[in-house]
Amino acid sequence: MALTLTQQVENNISIEANGIIPELLLGKTTDQIKSLPVACGNESIPLGELFGVSGRVDETNVVVFDGLLNNVNGIGMGMTSGTIQIRRDAGNRIGVKMSGGEIQSTANVGDHLGTEMTGGVITVEGNAGDSVGSVLPGSKVGVNRGTILVRGCVGKGAGESMRRGMLVVGGDAGDLLGWSMRAGTIVVLGKSGAQVGAEMKRGTIVLGGGLPHSLPPSFRQGGRFGMPAVSLITKWLRESHPEFDVDLSQLNTEFNLFHGDFLHGGRGEVLIPAN
């Protein structure tokens, strides 16, 4: 039976859940878990006063977050193994700097999902806020490995300063997608906002839903091609993540290839369906 933490205190005070991760809870008794300190506003409060605790972390290494989670931030921050399941709408900074394991959300999440992660998998069935898979203020490098799959839409700044890894969005994306991207792959199956790929150095952005805005003027068209790499991404998604059941049919086509940003080397590429 998985360990289930059910947030029961209805208020708008921020609760910081960083440190409540499977590898640190493994082997602890219920009383030990309830006594763990949790930051709530400017106070440190025992976990048991904020969450109902049932079950335990067993060999499956699963922790479930349930209940009123809108004000719960930092779930899965820094995790290295195991699985976290999030069953209700949750707050910001989920999976920040995680290096392994898996986070599965069946609802919506806030800003900075998977920011600066270096490994692991995050799957969100709902929408995510701004700065998905991006960089924390003051840092230079964002996601450096790992996979983020968002079935719904994401806000602005997704994939900022991305270094490696994969971000797939089933819905729409906001402005500044892939801003200052260094490498890695971003796939958006819906529409994208303005300034896609601005200041990108390397990497690939696939816009399956087309582009309602023009690319920055520092991009140049490189021709129309079939893209075997996109076919491989589609095959990988279907085989490795069958639970991520989004429509990938718009990727089965030729693409117009654009190189850029030529103000920053011009080694990135944006692919837009040619049909």
Residue-wise DSSP of 182-235: -S-EEEESS-B-SSTTTT--S-EEEETT--SSPPPTT-EEEEEEE-HHHHHHHH
Q: Which domain does 51 fall in, by range?
A: 1-87
Same domain flag for 124 and 20? no
Q: What is the reported pTM?
A: 0.96
Same domain flag for 51 and 130? no
Query: What confidence score (pLDDT) does residue 94 get?
Result: 98
Same domain flag for 14 and 139? no
pLDDT 10s digits, 258-268: 999 999 999 99
Give the count of beta carbons closer than 10 Å to the beta carbon of residue 242.
Answer: 8
In a domain, 104, yes or no: no
252: its two tokens = 């089965």
In a domain, 106, yes or no: no
Q: Are 69 and 85 a contacting pair, CB within 8 Å?
A: no
Residues of the chain predicted below pLDDT 50: none
In a domain, 159, yes or no: yes
Query: What confidence score (pLDDT) does residue 86 get?
Result: 98
Same domain flag for 153 and 29? no
Query: What confidence score (pLDDT) does residue 9 get?
Result: 79
pLDDT 10s digits, 39-84: 999 999 999 999 999 998 888 899 999 999 999 999 999 999 999 9
Same domain flag for 259 and 133? yes
Same domain flag for 81 and 134? no
Same domain flag for 119 and 214? yes
Same domain flag for 147 and 213? yes
In a domain, 100, yes or no: no
Same domain flag for 56 and 175? no
The total domain count for the chain is 2
In a domain, 80, yes or no: yes
Phi, psi for 123 (deg, rounded to 5)? -125, 125
In a domain, 92, yes or no: no
Query: What confidence score (pLDDT) does residue 275 get?
Result: 77
Same domain flag for 67 and 150? no
Same domain flag for 129 and 265? yes
